[in-house]
């Protein structure tokens, strides 16, 4: 297939591009506007015979219209995704996540090409810490932040365009990703790079909030599976049974880097901080036969720590700016 990957210079998008070019014969065009979270260095070393980069915005309908005829599918990763930023300025999230998705859907409608939409488990809200339930494809939407509400909106647009206009679309809602090429503003790389710089990590609240972690390679393999074998009109949840509370994650990072497990500081909790996310990926596993490679979180985390240790030139230019933003928020 000839894939048009939006947001392919971002974290999970760039991991998907690397995965596709390593595991298939597909070709890839990345469309990315290179906001602060996009990084061309994340696409270094890719085969120019099978990969090209286009600088542009997913809200640019004329640009999208010139690209879609040359492709078989749009894989839509592009999004404003950082919760903290959505609390301080929601508007970019509405523009990118809602208007941008609408623009792409209209292009898919006009050209008839396949469309896969990357979304998040945060559209479902959160679960109580002692609740044995996990999110499924039938869980009602209950977003709690500007970020998650705009992602919920974009999911609903995809469903409406599939039903009303016959767009050949699928949706995946994934748990929290970790791995190479993740911006240092995010939880796991922020803590890793703090420790690598000799600084104490910082933890929201008491660290009891639970996230369901999945390595970016496993997310990529799941998306490729859905793209190639998923049923049009269906939604698939992607998860790797990686539930961990934030305190245990930060302590594991410290331990793997040779520091005392309690060498971190507590800071004020984030407003509206969701308690727990947990994914039931049974549909994806049973209907499409997908299984994660990094089923053990500690192994995946060690792989991630090694990448950040060996790629300081990639993350160092962004570290000071990210920490400056956190300082203005008292975090």
Residue in 19, 77, 124, 147 annotated catalytic: 147
- Strand pairing class (243-245; 210-215): antiparallel
Is 121 a residue of the active site?
yes
Q: Please provide residue 326's backbone torsions phi and psi, each rounded to the nearest 5 degrees.
A: -65, -40
Whether residue 93 contacts residue 147, with contact meaning beta carbons closer than 8 Å, is answered with yes
Alpha-carbon distance of 128 to 84, in angstroms, equals: 21
Locate all alpha helices (DSSP H) within 197-245, ordered by sequence: 216-229
Alpha-carbon distance of 261 to 9, in angstroms, equals: 34
Whether residue 82 contacts residue 147, with contact meaning beta carbons closer than 8 Å, is answered with yes
- Helix (H) or strand (E) segment spanning residue 314: helix 312-328
Is 264 a residue of the active site?
no
DSSP state of 70: G
Residue in 57, 80, 122, 185 annotated catalytic: 122
Residue in 32, 57, 80, 121 annotated catalytic: 121
Alpha-carbon distance of 27 to 15, in angstroms, equals: 15
Distances (CA, A) of 240 to 29, 175, 178, 243, 293: 28, 8, 12, 9, 9
What's the start-to-end Cα distance of the chain, in Å? 44
Active site (catalytic) residues: 121-122, 147
């Amino acid at each position: 297939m000839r894939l048009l990957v939006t947001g392919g210079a971002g974290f999970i998008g760039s991991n998907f591009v690397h995965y596709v070019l390593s595991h298939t014969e597909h070709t890839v065009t990345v469309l990315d506007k290179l906001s602060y979270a996009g990084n061309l260095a994340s696409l270094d070393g890719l085969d120019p015979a099978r990969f090209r980069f286009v600088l542009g915005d997913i809200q640019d309908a004329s640009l999208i219209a010139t690209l879609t005829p040359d492709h078989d599918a749009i894989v839509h990763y592009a999004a404003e995704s950082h919760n903290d930023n959505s609390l301080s300025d929601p508007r970019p999230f509405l523009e990118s996540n809602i208007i941008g998705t609408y623009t792409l859907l209209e292009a898919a409608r006009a050209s008839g090409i396949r469309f896969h939409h990357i979304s998040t488990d945060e559209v479902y809200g959160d679960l109580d810490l002692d609740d044995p339930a996990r999110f499924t494809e039938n869980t009602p939407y209950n977003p709690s932040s500007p970020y998650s509400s705009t992602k919920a909106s974009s999911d609903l647009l995809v469903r409406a365009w599939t039903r009303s206009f016959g767009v050949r679309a699928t949706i995946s809602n994934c748990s929290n990703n970790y791995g190479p090429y993740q911006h240092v503003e995010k939880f796991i790389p922020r803590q890793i790079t703090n420790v690598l710089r000799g600084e104490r990590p910082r933890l929201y609240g008491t660290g009891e909030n639970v996230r369901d972690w999945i390595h970016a390679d496993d997310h990529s393999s799941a998306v490729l599976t859905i793209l190639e074998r998923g049923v049009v009109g269906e939604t698939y949840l992607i998860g790797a049974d990686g539930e961990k509370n934030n305190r245990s994650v930060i302590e594991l990072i410290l331990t793997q880097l040779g520091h005392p497990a309690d060498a971190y500081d507590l800071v004020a909790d984030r407003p509206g901080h969701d308690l727990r996310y947990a994914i039931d990926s049974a549909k994806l596993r049973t209907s499409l036969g997908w299984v994660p490679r990094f089923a053990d979180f500690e192994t995946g985390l060690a792989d991630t720590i090694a990448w950040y240790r060996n790629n300081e030139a990639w993350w160092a230019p962004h570290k000071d700016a990210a920490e400056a933003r956190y300082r203005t928020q008292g975090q």
